[in-house]
Structure 1
Amino acid sequence: MFVFKSFSVFFVLVVFSSVMVLAADEVEELQIQEDQVEQPEPQQEILEIEVEKLSDKGEETDLDLDLTGIDATAKLGDEVVLQVDEKNNNIAVENADRDLDQDLESLEVNNEIQNQNDNQDIDEVKTVLVLQETELSFDKLYLDGVIAYEDQLWYSCASKIERAIKDYKNYKSVLTNCRLNCSKGLRSYKLSNLTVNIPEYASYVKFLTLADCYRRCKNETLKTHPKITKKLETAFELRKPYMYLQYCNYKLDRFSQAASAAYTYYLANPDDPDTTKNIVFYRDTVKVPEDDFIDLEMLPYKEYYIRGLHAYKTEQWKDVIYWIEQCLDDYWKQDEKCNANCDAHGEITSHDFATTVANLIIGLLNCRIQCEDKLSTVYTEPIPFFLRDLYHYLQFSYFQESEFEKSAEVAETFLLFSPSHEVMEKNKEVLQQKLDQIHSEFTPRQDGADYVKRRQETYDFMDFLVKNYKYSDRLDEFDVTEEEQDPRQSSEGQEQTSSGKSENWLDKYEKLGMHIIAKSGDLNREERFVIDGLLKENQCTETLNLIQDVIELPSGAYEFNFKLSQKKLLENPSEEFETLLRHLIRAVEYIQHYAQVYRNSEITLFIKKTSIICWKDLEDPDINQDCYPQEDGSCIQFNDFPDSLHPDYFTTVTYLNAVENGDFQFLNENGDVDSSFGVKCGRTVGFNSADRLRVKVPRKGAQRCALVVRYSTHMEDIEVDLHELLRLLHQVDELRYNQTKEDAAVVLKRFEDKGVKVIKTAEDLKGEERFAAEGLATDEQCEILRNVALELGRTGDGYSGVRSPHTANEIFVGVTLEHFRKSLTVVPASYFGLTTKPTFISPHTKNELLHGISVYKANKLLLDGYVQSYGLRMLLERSEEARLFVEKYFNLTKPLFFEYTHLVCRTAINDSNTDRQDLSHPVHGDNCILQPDGTCTHDFPAFTQRHYSALLYLNSDFEGGEFFFAHPNKTEQVSIHPKCGLLVGFNASSLHGVKAVLKGQRCALAMWYTLNPTFKEITHIQARKLLEEKEAQEKLEKEHDEL
């Protein structure tokens, strides 16, 4: 995402775009009048969210929230002024049901199996059903998303709608490219040699050849996409999916994503009466930072324009030139696309051939005339003279940089748009004096001149038609309204398809190692469950590290909570503590989502209170003899347990350590143990908050700790401390980034001085956001890192110890401390008949061995003395240099964090075939799941938090093993042979793979990065701290030995 897509910059810059900055004192003639660009005020509407129970009958829940107290007004200026009645600062959340029926009617379900002949082969029918099941396009995804919304399946709703939006963009992009390529003759087509001798037919040839080219192009690339209906296209063009998406994200407590979706919807629907109220709610009540309000549909030229205005305001003239030139370049591309897409506009309103063609031509011309207004809409309304005034910015900025020839060129281009513009005429005179060309005319830019000429000819053509062409004849008109089926009235086969594709999230959790231990029926009361594996060992350890300053409760238990964490963060905002808090918040959200899915309730669970509660050996053993210790740290009398469950409150308890004699016990109505189980890291128990239970407090010096999350079905119960902590963390982020940020050019120059050189750019690598640079490591540094990987490698490191995360025919090798202690050598084993080969088989191919180590394992090994400090330092230094280069090369406006780091070597087995067809690492995206149709979906369980990736290679003395970028069909785009110090960086969505290692050993430092600080790799921070302590200790020991 680009930072200047954000809501806050919109409000800050909106005034600036209507009043251009005055020129320097030396050249008053170059002053730009205030009336050149007017930025409209945003309207006072927002999509309103209702907290109502969504059902076919529209039944309401217990939440009866009043909206009458809210009076929100937004004014333009340096900030937005909002007036809210504090007495009634409640927000209701309107379900998007008011248009649900209409939306469902606009969705066309493509039923490929109907009217089958009696003798049709059954296998053929099954094949079509499989296609229906697996090859979903935006119309079906949108339908499924809306149905999931109606059924209150919020996770499925958000996922389906997001995929629908992405697929629609892909669909439109493909059609646009087909039109452009066909019109430019870039595609071959079978009618290319068509010639006719009859003059009447000659005029048809162009249209026939273009239509044939376009249809072939479309059919080749969009085999599974049905014909788009006008209503469905209108829904997407008006960004209606974002209306559903914001509400579904809201129900999932994804407030930042919901805010961005609401803001994106608002920009296309500023007259929606509820839109502004929603944005105010997200900003003021939920405290979503203004920078998180992002236009998810913003085109590049709009971002460049905003950046240019920002630079203009701060008088950074070179930056103004750079961004406005970028803006112009992309504007021409978007204008070309807009004109090409006008081929799809126009309606057939007559049976007469000539009339139909004429009406379609007029529709096309009208559409092309509207392109300028459409592209001039940066926010909610067209900016007057948007394109023309880009040249005004450039003219003035070039003048400030004393580039008078370029200033003159763009001044002349500006005058093509407004020949009698008084200010620019004066500017031109000043420039003529500067260049000593008093009686000479300047030459305008060719692209601007061509645009103005084409635009004027189009206007003249339309003006003539308006005056002279008879537009309609009632006798010619006929009804061409589309027959659209209500998807809820679908056929039996379609119902099976829809239900068959419903997401079973519990199954997906099971695949990730989370297993249900006991359900309600097993535990003798509803709403009870026990599950293992919600947290991993390292997550439990990280969470326990937070428990340093705790509150002692009257019961003798100890509590750590978000209010306490805020205090500690303010006192000492260490990066390690901050990151641990982020991981805790992530764990809480993860547990909340699982509880919501497991309960399968239509009512959302809001986080009410989060605590880490520790029970340990009590100084006074008799303190709790007359009461029952509870997971929340309280101790209550049995008679105080409610007789019935409370429908509005729920609790989950996730244990952080294993303790003997610290069991959890459910009780029956007589106080006897109903069911009991031990506790260990990652085990989670869920129950109604009014349930009867008891904690067995350990008595032998042990400490029993658990993450306790209490939920409410009432939105007003949302934990304030959690949202305050999130706000504080955001402020810490901004402060830390502002203190450390450096200009990208300065940093890259420093790299260049050290011998780092970019040898392949995105253009060379046939994609966007890609590069290859050499010089990031010396031969000596590469050798040290190779030795660390090879000496400490063991099965499973980097893949959570799973022998084969990708296929049953492979094994992966890395490092863990437990196995390292047992043996520092490779153990022979039998696998695939390889009776003399080690077990370190790659997870992707049985023909290679894999050794690896993560930063987490390196930390543990350093602590136990199995690895020297210089090895860990080398790993940290090289990875940090790579991270910094990636961040600055891509000129990111937000800090880039490590998400995961893995040092790995792949070794070819001696007798492996040199003609192998398998891949060392199959084609994949690092943050998405590659689908059979070539799309890559950002869905669970993909690592969607990853934004960029990089590989630092450590050697070249091997055969094969080339890294390659791939097409969606998994074929190679371009390949790179590794060598020591070579860094390949790319957007994490880029499809890539590794060719088979045929001979020798291939080593690399693999790094994945994120822009979301919540996912930053804590082990990097801990490793730096550990390394400092270890080196300080080694220094003291050395000084002692010298004495």
Structure 2
Amino acid sequence: WEAALFGPALRRALCLQRCLGDRLGSPPGAHRASRAVRAAFDRREPYNYLQVAFFQLKKLDQAVSAAHTFFVANPQHLQMREDIEKYRRMSGVKSHNFRDLEAIPHWEAYEAGMQHYNADEYPQAAARLEESLTEAVSALEECRALCEGPWEDEEEEEEEDMQPGLYEAIAAHYIQVLKCRQQCVLDIATKPGRISAMEDFIPSHLDLLQFSYSQAGNQTLAAECAASYLLFYPMDEPMLEKMKEYRAVLGEDTRVAPRENIRHYIRRSLMEKKLIYYAVEHLGGTFNDPDLWTPDELIPENLKEKHREDQEKQKRETLDVEEREKRGPLPFEGVAVTVDSSQMNGTQRVVFDRVLTESECKDLLRLTEVRPGSSGEGYRSRRSPHTPHERFEGLTVLKAVQLAQNGDVDWRDVKLFLQASEKSRKIIQSYFTPGKKLHFSFTHLVCRTAVDEEQEGRMDLSHPVHADNCLLDPEGQECWREPPAYVYRDYSGILYLNDDFQGGDLFFTEMDAVTVTAKVHPKCGRLVAFSSGKENPHGVRAVSRGRRCAVALWYTHSKEHAEQERVKAEELVKQRAVQQDWHDGEERQGAVHKGRSSSELPVRSSRARPTSQAHKPGSEGTQRPKELRTRDEF
């Protein structure tokens, strides 16, 4: 049996070596790149260097293409984002220069197909989705072939006496190859620049195709796609109903068969899963099954328990969300819910009024009136990062405290800033998550000011549509909860301070970032709150005249991601209160002792703090404050 097993393996190895030698002209081992090099190419890092080189060579079109290619895979790269904007402003750069030199065929076809699909152009959608499916299967086969590489130990090297024997080594390497092949479906389903894969990438193509063909009037191909989809989910009731309709139209005698390549894909995948699960059950290790359609009976009983636990956990989380709909009582009198989720055509969104009084709004607005001195500190305006038609100003709680220490703002206004944001936190917590604490993630007093001379013909937004804890992908109808998004944020709030401006409404949309479902007009004391996820994409209409100010608030259930600047600010406020109490006590004591003889004066304790030490640094009238660096709230 060994000859039957290893004979073909040896012949295949010889064949592969000869092919590689003929193609590459040297031993295959000389062309094997390290894991670090492969990872760098996956991240498209060479294009970062290429764009610099082409720019220095004054080959602007090639520099732009290289920069764009790198940026597609690295959308969080801030320096490249700035470079891209600079290229856009250069006179010699054309729109067609922004090409993705590593464009993946199946993603190009898929996005084009989805555009046709969403526009109800079903014949065109079917054609492009078929192209996408064909290219995706081709990419899958290429990925699977690359899995047949050398053994790669993810852990540190074993001791000499711990090396596996012949059959253990063969089994381990083979299972590694099988796991790699299984993960290929995630590779092809992950867009460049994303971490998360699109779920059910292959089955979803078939679902989209059956509907497109049906709407285009081709019931034969619609039935074929439906039959192919049922190979993944044989008990899917809506698709079974569709199959009945197709058979009724085509005739019961008409043979409807699934696609052969899909049948082969599933048969092969199930064979590999069966071997992997056997190895995990008996030899140890883990396996993260990439497919949702894997039959339950394929999973060994002792591994099913963990699968059930995961499902139960997900069910409990769903029940928790439903329980939150019952809501808790509001902790402050006078605060009222004026618009709830149902009135705003969504979920987990609400508007409260009378959170602040008119006088409190005016006091908070005083914090935005501080202007930089000679050293630059103050509420400094800069061009908005989201639009060239507005100026943007921002102040954190810690910077507000530092301004108060320097005597630039009133301590009472700073305390009100802290109290108003804490009041908002308690309201949002009691409404959405009673019994489960919300921590501050970030607190920011923000003003957006229209640039008067740049409003004519304006078409953009003050802030584009986005979600607060995931990367919104309107074309793919997805929101990817991965960096650079603030994935730990759970709830968001905006506490408005004024309404003497034009525009600036907050609005919510569907996942397409176009269909508006609700809008909120700012006014003093109004707090709008919502969950930070994909269920609440939102944006801000252009501020066309005047200045819009609000306290932007983000909250998290994760204590590890609590806002450290706020903790520091609260500590400084407490220290100042202690110093103020001591100073007031000293003044009262001095008044009592006034008129006594020198012999009657009490001796100061060596532990008492001298007045000179209690005097805050920077409070002299001649000293100028330091520059306050503004910070983008998003």
TM-score, normalised to structure 2, is 0.49
Which structure has more RCO (C-alpha within 8 Å, separation ≥ 6)? 2
When you count helix as a share of all residues, which structure comes out higher? Answer: 2
TM-score, normalised to structure 1, is 0.32
